[in-house]
Amino acid sequence: MKKTSTRLADGRELIYYDARDDAVRDAVDRRPLDPTVTTSEVRRDPLLGDSVAIASHRQGRTYHPPADECPLCPSQGERLSEIPDSSYDVVVFENRFPSLAGDSGRCEVVCFTSDHDASFASLTEEQAGLVLDAWTDRTAELSHLPSVEQVFCFENRGAEIGVTLGHPHGQIYAYPFTTPRTALMLRQLAAHKEATGGGNLFDAVLERELAGERVVLATEHWVAFVPYAAHWPYEVHLYPRRRVPDLLGLDEDARTEFPKVYLELLKRFDRIFGEGEPATPYISAWHQAPFGVLEEFEGVNRDDFALHLELFTIRRTSGKLKFLAGSESGMSVFINDVPPESAAQRLREVASS
């Protein structure tokens, strides 16, 4: 992999990740852009103890542009985009409309391919491996920023999820705090460790799932399963068999095998609801250990956390979505219409031939 860092016209960082070592990336951003101005502010909720990012400047962000005006496609002639070069493999750049900025963290956009009509599932294994390299590199780099405590790599896919740009891309949020969902995991991890005299909760969950009926896919280095208490109609958790706290901890064997496993899972998601259905909307989210001090979670350290990816769709059946209504939105109590065992069986049935 070759990494080339440059700057856009308004000062934001842009990084090319190329499969070829001889790639030359010297194109200049010719757009007359003013410096980016953000109003991002993180406010802590005194009742719930969580944090909310207030980012009013995002009201003016690009919204469903036509394909020939896509800001994530390469620049061509006088049609100038966020990527100055006329081609690219993988690109990461600072979001022009970030939810988090400055002392409140950082937001980046990850373009998986220059092909506007592609999807992550249509990438080759080499391309998917390059995206994994980019996620890993950005996790390492962002972890060194003084304002960053946790790095979150994710992809939103589909208009039903709220995606406003059709080009295949994901995002990276670098939070200045430990996110509420991760904090819940760490509390459960600490409680289990104390109750079992040092046992690891993630290891126990993986062992239980391997012995059960919800495994979707198991290889030498990765295991994918529908969790016992799945929140979403179709939800898969993907774990490396060897527990590591973050993407940086993956060994070469796990990194090499990941593209094949992940691409297979994405293809199965697109087959869940049968032929002729539109592409399945989903969220794909990497869970990594925070980089800050974990004093709040007594007895737990970074190495106790298990890197894993959570992939889920909000579609519950053909033509119907799972909405977060009163119980979910008002009380954070999920109600799942699809038994996890049935979801796992369906995801096994739609395996590639």
Query: Whole-angstrom Cα distance, residue 242 to residue 132?
Result: 17
Evaluate whether 214 touches 225 at the Cβ level (below 8 Å).
yes
Q: How many helices and strands in the chain, by DSSP H and E? A: 6, 15
Please give the sequence-ordered ranges of beta strands (E in DSSP) within 256-345, or none if there are none. 282-287, 308-313, 315-317, 320-321
Query: Beta-strand (E) ranges in 49-204?
Result: 51-54, 90-94, 106-111, 150-157, 169-175
57 is catalytic: no
CB 253, CB 220: distance < 8 Å = yes
Between the two ends of the chain, the Cα-to-Cα distance in Å is 31
Q: How many CB atoms lie within 10 A of CB 198?
A: 10
| Selected catalytic residue, list 167, 169, 237, 308 | 169
Please state, in angstroms and rounded to a whole number, the distance separating the CA atoms of residues 166 and 119: 10
What is the C-alpha to C-alpha distance for residues 330 and 317, in angstroms, rounded to an integer?
24
**Cα–Cα distance, 290 to 148 (Å, whole number):** 9
153 CB-near residues (< 8 Å, 6+ apart): 110, 135, 138, 139, 170, 171, 172, 247, 285, 286, 288
Residue with tokens 């951003």: 29
Residues forming the active site: 169
